[in-house]
Chains A and B, each alone.
Chain A
Amino acid sequence: MESVIIILAGILVMIATYLFLSRNLIRIILGSALLSHAVHLLLMAMGGLKKGGPPLLGEELKTYTDALPQALILTAIVINFAVTAIFLVLAYRTYQKTGTDNLNALRGFKDE
């Protein structure tokens, strides 16, 4: 099961790298979102995907899944959400101010 998830994460990283290297700003932001999905999957897989109950003490099971990676992922998701929001607003602002979302067109301004 872990290997399937790892391969999935690898494919996500591949797509994200491709998007990251493009010239379009929105594609780069999409790439960063995909990257974070990949690493969240990786964190989950690295904690081990053993069968066990959800980590709720009320369930009164013999084995539970590891709760630590879930807490790490939850933190990482929120941080990534904030950064993506900033990044999107920055892209919008750049588009408003310069009239382009192409990174090549952003190189060097006349008034510099």
Chain B
Amino acid sequence: MSNLIVLPMVIPILIGIILIFLRPYIKIQRWVSVLSVIFSGGLGLYLLKQIQTNGILTLEFGEWKAPFGIVFVADSFSMLLVVTTSFVTLVCLLYAFATIGRALESMFFYSFVQFLIAGVNGSFLTGDLFNLFVCFEVMLVASYILVMIGGKKDQLRESIKYIAINVLSSWIFLVAIAYLYGTLGTLNMAHLAVRVSEVGQTPLLTTISILLLIVFSLKSGLLLYFWLPGSYSVPPTAVAALFGALLTKVGIYAMFRIFTLIFNHEPAITHTLIGVMAAVTLIIGSIGAIAYKDLRQIAAFNVVIAVGFIMVGLAVFSTVALEGSIYYLIHDMIVKALLFLLVGTMIALTGKNRLNQMSGLIRNYPVLGWLVFIVTLSLAGIPPFSGFLGKVLVGGAAVEKGNFVLLALAFISSLFVLYSLLRIFMNCFWGETILSIEDEPPLKKSWLIPSIILSVATFVLGVGAESIAVYVNDAAHTLMNPEIYIDAVLPDK
């Protein structure tokens, strides 16, 4: 029964391996990879329902009891993220079918997407710190290949930076693991949580927690974001959308897990530090988003702002704030994919990548224009769309806890997001049409359909937020009460 929770990681790995042998058969590769993603997503939904009735599901590999073997743990938070990951990947795959081109498709593109998904899902599900490291590496190695696939000059340069910074952050992760094993003698997350609460969070443990904070900040672009705009703007659009939607979110997930489950005893130090980092991230991201004229740079800095905003929820550290962050996390995965897809489509259509080189696109591409308008509203948090609820909840919790600086920065950054995206909309879609209708390349339906699906999703998520409220409440409740997680993993501690 609970064997099912390993499938979101195992299915993509198996499918990825099978696709290696099906290299010449592009059609089969497409179908099989889509089916794999749909299956993981459907399984995620089913497990989400199971968790509501049966509590947290755990799987002990090889019947080894929890602290001694590796466990996979599925609570509402991780399953929500697995479902969202599958949905976003499905849409990005649909976009890749239309745009990626035969040359890349036959270079194992779909295999690497599957391995990326396996790493992401594994990171969401694992209950062991070293296993988290391994899942991170599975995800990262696949992402190295996806950044440089195609081998253009700027891709090569950016992948050097991307690999170097990730080698460094993986190294710090290993150092933190070594220190934790040296002090506490275990690597199972639930067992670590028990040990930390037994011995108390000594200054040494707080130092290690800050080391872990640095690692996950490097992965998620919280303050240490300098590698992000470059490496997210060079890969093909479908890949950039996958990265923007998934990779930073894994780091965010890991921070949520570590700082609610294990290191939650000294919030005056750790959570204040997270708050300061989130504040600076919001400021820097806002400056970056309005400073650049390159559309992809603007999109990348919007990723940075969103990371800052989600971490505000963790810094405020109350059930409502975490609920808001989870809503915003799910919303952001969907909308960032949409933003990258739209920006990539605009660049592909015009052949230019700067704001001031495009103008009057709405005359020829009205649907594309209104989709950009929708993503603008949704990212800024205008009510009918999904960004609203997360912002309201985080804001409300910040008021309750008296964190007015974070509150102000979070909401002012929304204005900057709105301004940076409206600037895209008004510069590129309004004004004089540069090219006549005959010169403009026709916009294929298959380029637009993925974006339309995501726009509908952000609308549905905004209007029907009630439908996932049960799961989000449960996820936030589990995060704020780590003993639920510990009891599920170590029933007889």
- List A residues at the B interface (Cβ < 8 Å): 20, 25, 28, 32, 35-36, 39, 42-43, 45-48, 68-69, 72, 75-76, 79, 82-83, 86-87, 90-91, 93-94, 97-98, 103, 106-107, 109, 111-112
Asked whether B157 lies within 8 Å of A94 as measured between CB atoms, the reply is: yes
Task: Name A47's contact: one of B145, B153, B171, B182 (CB within 8 Å).
Answer: B182
A2, closest chain B residue (CB): B182
Asked whether A36 lies within 8 Å of B171 as measured between CB atoms, the reply is: yes
Q: Which residues of B contact A98 (CB under 8 A)?
A: 153, 156-157
A106, closest chain B residue (CB): B157
- Count CB-based A-B contacts (< 8 Å): 87
Given the known interface contacts A42-B178, A69-B181, A112-B154, the answer about A35 and B167 at a Cβ–Cβ threshold of 8 Å is yes
Among B145, B160, B168: residue with most chain A CB under 10 A: B160
Asked whether A94 lies within 8 Å of B160 as measured between CB atoms, the reply is: yes
Q: Which residues of B contact A43 (CB under 8 A)?
A: 174, 177-178, 181
Please list the 3 inter-chain residue pairs (A to B) with the smallest Cβ-Cβ separation, ordered nearest first: A46-B182, A46-B178, A39-B174
Asked whether A79 lies within 8 Å of B153 as measured between CB atoms, the reply is: no
Taking the closest CB of chain B, its distance from the CB of A33, in whole angstroms, is: 10
Q: List 13 A-B contacts (CB under 8 A).
A: A42-B178, A48-B182, A72-B177, A76-B174, A79-B134, A83-B141, A83-B163, A90-B156, A90-B159, A90-B160, A91-B160, A94-B156, A112-B153
Asked whether B178 lies within 8 Å of A82 as measured between CB atoms, the reply is: no
Asked whether A82 lies within 8 Å of B175 as measured between CB atoms, the reply is: no
**Cα distance A91–B164 in the bound complex, in angstroms:** 11
Q: Which residues of A contact B163 (CB under 8 A)?
A: 83, 86-87, 90
Taking the closest CB of chain A, its distance from the CB of B112, in whole angstroms, is: 12
B183, closest chain A residue (CB): A46
- Quick check: is B402 within 8 A (CB to CB) of the other chain? no
Q: Which residues B141-181 have CB closer than 8 A to chain A?
A: 141, 144-145, 148, 151, 153-154, 156-157, 159-160, 163-164, 167-168, 170-171, 174-175, 177-179, 181
Among A43, A45, A48, A111: residue with most chain B CB under 10 A: A43
Given the known interface contacts A36-B171, A39-B178, the answer about A97 and B153 at a Cβ–Cβ threshold of 8 Å is yes
**Cα distance A91–B130 in the bound complex, in angstroms:** 29
Q: Which residues B111-157 have CB closer than 8 A to chain A?
A: 130, 134, 137, 141, 144-145, 148, 151, 153-154, 156-157
Given contacts A39-B174, A90-B160, 5 further A-B contacts (CB under 8 A): A39-B175, A43-B177, A46-B181, A46-B182, A47-B181
Q: Which residues of B contact A45 (CB under 8 A)?
A: 178, 182
Task: Name A93's contact: one of B137, B156, B170, B182 (CB within 8 Å).
Answer: B156
**Cα distance A43–B174 in the bound complex, in angstroms:** 8
Task: Name B179's contact: one of A46, A75, A86 (CB within 8 Å).
Answer: A46
Among B145, B154, B182: residue with most chain A CB under 10 A: B182
Taking the closest CB of chain A, its distance from the CB of B307, in whole angstroms, is: 24
Q: Which residues B204-236 have CB closer than 8 A to chain A?
A: none
**Cα distance A69–B178 in the bound complex, in angstroms:** 8
Task: Name B153's contact: one of A28, A68, A109 (CB within 8 Å).
Answer: A109
A111, closest chain B residue (CB): B153
**Cα distance A75–B167 in the bound complex, in angstroms:** 15
Asked whether B171 lies within 8 Å of A87 as measured between CB atoms, the reply is: no
**Cα distance A82–B168 in the bound complex, in angstroms:** 15
Asked whether A20 lies within 8 Å of B168 as measured between CB atoms, the reply is: yes
Taking the closest CB of chain B, its distance from the CB of A26, in whole angstroms, is: 12
Q: Which residues of B contact A72 (CB under 8 A)?
A: 130, 177, 181
Q: Which residues of B contact A82 (CB under 8 A)?
A: 141
